[in-house]
Amino acid sequence: MTDLLGASGDRIALSFGGRSAGSDELARAVAGAELPAGEGPVGCRADVDPVTVITTVLACLDRGRAVLVGGSQSDADRLADDLPAGTALALTTSGSTSADGSPRVVARTLESWLASAGPL
């Protein structure tokens, strides 16, 4: 897991609203995260605590499971067969770009997401 985090020890890995977690603490949280049984994608609702979202996403990446951020587990189960091979992260859009206003799913590989985040 520390390979994905790029650090270890007490160095702050996450900080949200005054709540911080060091790299080792985050790695322990990721290792202890409970994911649904099976090998399919995991739904990760966006309306939960941000630390929970990040921990779930990292746990999925660490375990080789695709994660649907912004969707429920039912949504992830329904989309499982439609996600392209190699999908690591899938995000639901707001729906503002679709003709009927319904959200779309954007699916990308881990390498693609990391490459686009590089400038950050």
Axis-axis angle for helices 50-63, 23-32 (nearest 10): 70
Could you tell me if 52 and 74 lie in one domain?
yes
Contacts of 48 (CB under 8 A, 6+ apart): none
What residues make up the domain containing 3? 1-32
Q: What is the number of structural domains in the chain?
A: 2
> Which stretch of DSSP H or E encloses residue 23?
helix 23-32
Same domain? 57 vs 84: yes
Q: Which amino acid is at 35?
A: L
Instruction: Let me know whether 62 and 100 are in one domain.
Output: yes
Please tell me the distance from the alpha carbon of residue 27 to that of residue 24, in angstroms, as a whole number: 5
pLDDT score at 5:
56
Are 70 and 17 within one domain?
no
Across the 120 residues of the chain, what is the mean pLDDT of every consecutive 10-residue run?
Answer: 60 80 88 95 92 92 95 96 96 87 91 78
Query: What pLDDT sits at residue 2?
Result: 47
Distance between CA atoms of 52 and 101, rounded to whole angstroms? Answer: 28
Contact predicate 59/33, CB 8 Å: yes
The answer on 101 and 45 residing in a single domain is yes
Instruction: State how far the Cα of 51 lies from the Cα of 34, in Å rounded to an integer.
Output: 14
Q: Same domain for 99 and 49?
A: yes
User: 109 and 53 in one domain?
Assistant: yes
If asked whether residues 64 and 105 sit together in one domain, one would say: yes
